[in-house]
Amino acid sequence: MDRRSFLAATAATVGGGLSAQAQNYSDYTQDPRPDVPEGTCTAGSLDGPVLAGSPMVMGPAADAISILQPMQRMGTGYLEFAVADGPWQRVDGGHAGLLPLSEHVLKFRLPPLPPGQEVRYRIVAHTIGWVKVRQFYHGELKAGEPQTSEVRSFRTLDPDAATTNFVVWNDTHENSETLKQLHERTSPLRPDFMLWNGDQSNDLHFEQDMAGQILNPAGLAVGDQWPIAYVRGNHECRGPAAPALAQFTGAPDDRYYYGFRSGPLAAIVMDTGEDKPDDSPYFGGMAAYGPMQERQAEWLKAIVQEPWFRDAPHKALFCHIPLWFRHPKLTANAFDGHRHCRGLWEKTLVDAGVKLVISGHTHDYLWMPADANRPIGQLIGGAPQPAYATLIEGTATHDELNLKMTKLDGSLVAEVKLTA
């Protein structure tokens, strides 16, 4: 039996007569998709408004910037940027020759940018849909009309600047009133960067909700004019959509631990993961945060030796779960994960000259100065309820690092001054 005859015989017998079941793509007299009316989409979206809300600039270092644009229809597109008064340049994004395609968010990684420069940017996007016609089994590709966003701008961080100003949000948990008041307080400050220190959400359950949870919380443009330093909280580890978090964030290399320099401040972001042991039945066998924290320990030993960090007048760690814990209503070990992180990271941080940890998680505010039992000062802030929410403002010069933590009404709850 020759090869053609063998294949024909096999198709007729395997699986109860496969040849009779297989679609004949060349037979245009047959309707390939009787379940879909002619002229409607088999996938994607027909032409219409494609951009949703405002973009977010994440990174935050000049060589690690991503810009993410929420979408309201399935679409594709590209980003254009210009440094200062320079020409527009195009960033395609996507992978392996395909531009990004999403119904929720488009993500663009920019090439390394010069420090301390204004960068203008805009997004060009259009819908993509596959419309049923008889000669195409799954639909003919239809592209919508291109739509261009307004031009926005941000300034890249400058490691050599004499000063830097920043703000920190903690534990907003999708509380609209808290988010609106924080945004109102932050906008006039025009910080060099904003650090969002975890628990942006209650959990990540549906991908269609994640742009609203992270990129445009409460419908606000919180990160289109200055870079956001993103910190993952333990609530972003929860829910069936948690594995999709990297699509909606722009942490360098899609890791949630990294470092950057802004003026006199060298910042380290670490990922504290969850607040319970990996073998907790709460995680259903899905947790492996211990090994991740151990990998970060090795990474930390290397990063603190780099000149940009080693030579900085001020060094700070930002992480969601505090490394030290104190609360009048809970035991000292209520959040087990912090002990593991502290044991792995503390010596390296102390030896590297880190003098400050800024955390959240406890929904309380507290300044814990360094003492004989705690070699690094720790500032804890943030809560979802407006009555307990806080805003941290930081300013670093060569000689001093000053921090002010206030409630939403502007009343002062902690003030910290550290010298170089």
**325-346 pLDDT, tens per residue?**
876 565 555 555 588 899 999 9
Of 133-147, 221-235, 341-355, minimum mean pLDDT range: 133-147
Residue 185 confidence (pLDDT): 98
- In a shared domain, residues 260 and 145: no
- Residue range 144-150: average pLDDT? 98
- Residue range 69-76: average pLDDT? 98
Structural domain of residue 334, as residue ranges?
Answer: 157-419
- What total of structural domains would you count in the chain? 3
CA atoms within 13 A on the CB side of 34: 4
Residue 39 confidence (pLDDT): 82
Q: What CATH number should be reported for the domain holding residue 395?
A: 3.60.21.10
- In a shared domain, residues 338 and 295: yes
Judged against a pLDDT cut of 80, whether residue 25 lies above it is answered with: no
Residue 367 confidence (pLDDT): 96
- In a shared domain, residues 311 and 187: yes
Asked if the structure places residue 118 within a domain, the reply is yes
What sign results for the dihedral spanned by CA atoms 160, 161, 162, 168?
negative
- In a shared domain, residues 21 and 49: no
Residue 370 confidence (pLDDT): 96
The structure tokens 């006039």 sit at 188
pLDDT tens track for 233-285: 999 999 999 999 999 999 999 999 999 999 999 999 999 999 888 898 989 99
The structure tokens 């195409």 sit at 136
- In a shared domain, residues 176 and 322: yes
pLDDT tens track for 372-415: 989 999 999 999 999 999 999 999 999 999 999 999 999 999 99
The Cα–Cα gap between 114 and 157 comes to 9
Residue 132 confidence (pLDDT): 86
- In a shared domain, residues 6 and 113: no
Asked if the structure places residue 61 within a domain, the reply is no
Residue 10 confidence (pLDDT): 47
- In a shared domain, residues 212 and 273: yes
- In a shared domain, residues 47 and 24: no
Please name the amino acid found at residue 184. Answer: E
- In a shared domain, residues 189 and 287: yes
Confidence bin at 13 (pLDDT 50/70/90): very low
Asked if the structure places residue 408 within a domain, the reply is yes
Residue 337 confidence (pLDDT): 57
Asked if the structure places residue 415 within a domain, the reply is yes
Q: Which one is predicted more confidently, 361 or 14?
A: 361
First and final CA of the chain: distance in angstroms? 85
The Cα–Cα gap between 291 and 277 comes to 12
Of 29-43, 97-111, 177-191, minimum mean pLDDT range: 29-43
- In a shared domain, residues 294 and 366: yes
As a whole number, the mean pLDDT across the chain is: 91
